Amino acid sequence: METEEERQARRKARLEEMRREKRRRELLYKWGIPVVAGLAIVVGIGIGIGTAAFSHRDKGQQESRSESLAEGQGEDGTEGRNEDGLEDSENSAEDRTEDSIADKGQEGQDAQAQDPETGNMETRGKSRHAVQGLFVLAGKAYSPRKDFPGANAGDVLQAGEPAQEPEPDPTPKPLGIITPQQNTVFDMTERTADFSETILSQYGVFIDAQSGEILAQREAYTRMNPASMTKMLTILVAAEHLTVEDLDKTAAITIDITDYSYVNDCSNTGYALDEVVTVRDLFYGTILPSGADSALALAIYVAGSHEAFVELMNEKLVQMGLGETSHFTNCVGVYDEEHYSTAYDMAVILKATAENPFCRDVMSAHTYTTSLTKEHPEGLLISNWFLRRIEDKDTHGEVLCGKTGYVDQSGCCAASLGLDGEGRAYLCVTADSTTTWTCIDDHVELYQTYLPATESAPESASDAPAPSG
């Protein structure tokens, strides 16, 4: 146990680090923003000149076509529209698809972070409704997407023939047991405290998961980039669209997956190109090493494409009551101005993910060995380094689940679920800390502050009860 003097020295060191970080940011805003603005002006002028030139060319082409029609050289009036409309539309659609991938923004790039948007905390807090396990919107339960075939064109009922009720398609049960539908709202109270000055993270929230009371916060409702904390929703959506039988099926690590990961400088599980791995391994690879290759392969397996899976993610955000404050553009956490969330929203997502039994097992695993493949005959040993680093810290309990994240624009982030000695669950989310270790220190300090001190923690993760309420 550290002495009070050691603790004070550590706090002073952390404060000094925070001051240095603040000075670095001030220098960035002083010199970086004017340079970016100047470059934007130059690029804008270039685009304007190019647009004018293309406009002049198109006008000439239109005049030429009009003259040709007047002379009787184009009898089919739709031909010109097909060439200039349909084909150009298809080409532009392909260009947009390629550009959308190229423009996602590389993790660690020098793209300027979006200005935080603040609002009324109390109003926002009361407008969000997360349900336990299964989420409800407008009285309708969310269920996995299904494609239902339409009626055949020749299927016409004869006069007087009664309409036959179609036989319902059997819907496979999603991974895990669906918990009861019970709405919960995390509320600030008069006892809600601000983070202490020794907490370096710029955004965060600490919640009693049983009561729903927000015990402490800092800019909990301010928009920020969640980085790889995004992957919590990735595995939750995937689990709700897959069955137990899917876990032993396989998916390939394609060139599109490796290219996306390489271009955006993502962390990876370590799979080789064209390696065929199990869906179960993809879940663990998405969380423990925060593998972009696993997340993308899982998304494509579930929805057929990365883009279609992201649609499912945003549908899920709406179902959870988070559609106005969170929006994702990818399943990995790559920086994008339209990829955003809040510390509060990430706490809601963390709770929902932990309440899915299979996702909870994945999120609480400290290590995992992947299945044997030709490329890796002994499997890959992967680790959740956040859990392994915090397990030796005194948190007055046990940190059961954890997911980290990092891009330049969000700093070091982490979401964790901790249990006190009685098995009571707490949610902790922090973002924009300076280093991995300061991020861990922030979580440790919050747990020490708000969890009651006990002599012993729960013996194992499997014996600990799931959060409720």
Q: State pLDDT tens for residues 110-152.
A: 433 334 333 333 333 333 333 333 333 322 333 333 332 333 3
Domain-located, residue 202: yes
Domain-located, residue 131: no
287, 428: one domain: yes
CATH of the domain at 228: 3.40.710.10
- Asked which of 99-108, 196-205, 229-238, 283-292 is least confident by mean pLDDT, the reply is 99-108
Domain-located, residue 73: no
Mean pLDDT of the chain: 76
Domain-located, residue 419: yes
Vertex 383: Cα angle to 382 and 388 (nearest 5): 165
Percent helix, strand and coil across the chain, each to the nearest 5? 45, 15, 40
Domain-located, residue 154: no
- Residue 59 pLDDT > 70: no
pLDDT in tens, 400-420: 999 999 999 889 999 999 999
57, 188: one domain: no
Domain-located, residue 124: no
Q: Give the C-alpha separation, 63 to 304, whole Å.
A: 45
Determine contact, residues 317/326, Cβ cutoff 8 Å. yes
Domain end: 32, 62, 92, which one?
62
Instruction: Name residue, tokens 């006008």.
Output: 59
| Closest among 289, 282, 271 to 403, alpha carbons compared | 289
Instruction: Name residue, tokens 């001051």.
Output: 19
| Torsion over CA: 144, 400, 406, 445 (sign) | positive
Domain-located, residue 35: yes
Domain range for 21 is: 1-62
Q: Angle, nearest 10°, between helix axes 292-303 and 231-240?
A: 30
Domain-located, residue 218: yes
The helix (H) or strand (E) run that includes residue 148 is: none
Q: Which residues of 323-347 are buried (b: 16+ CB within 10 A; e: fewer)?
A: eebbbbbbbbbbbbeebbbbbbbbb
Instruction: Name residue, tokens 């137990």.
Output: 244
Q: How many CB atoms are located within 10 Å of the residue 129 CB? A: 16
**pTM of the full structure:** 0.63
Q: Give the C-alpha separation, 351 to 429, whole Å.
A: 11
| Closest among 294, 305, 419, 312 to 360, alpha carbons compared | 419
- Residue 186 pLDDT > 70: yes
Number of domains the chain contains: 2
51, 190: one domain: no
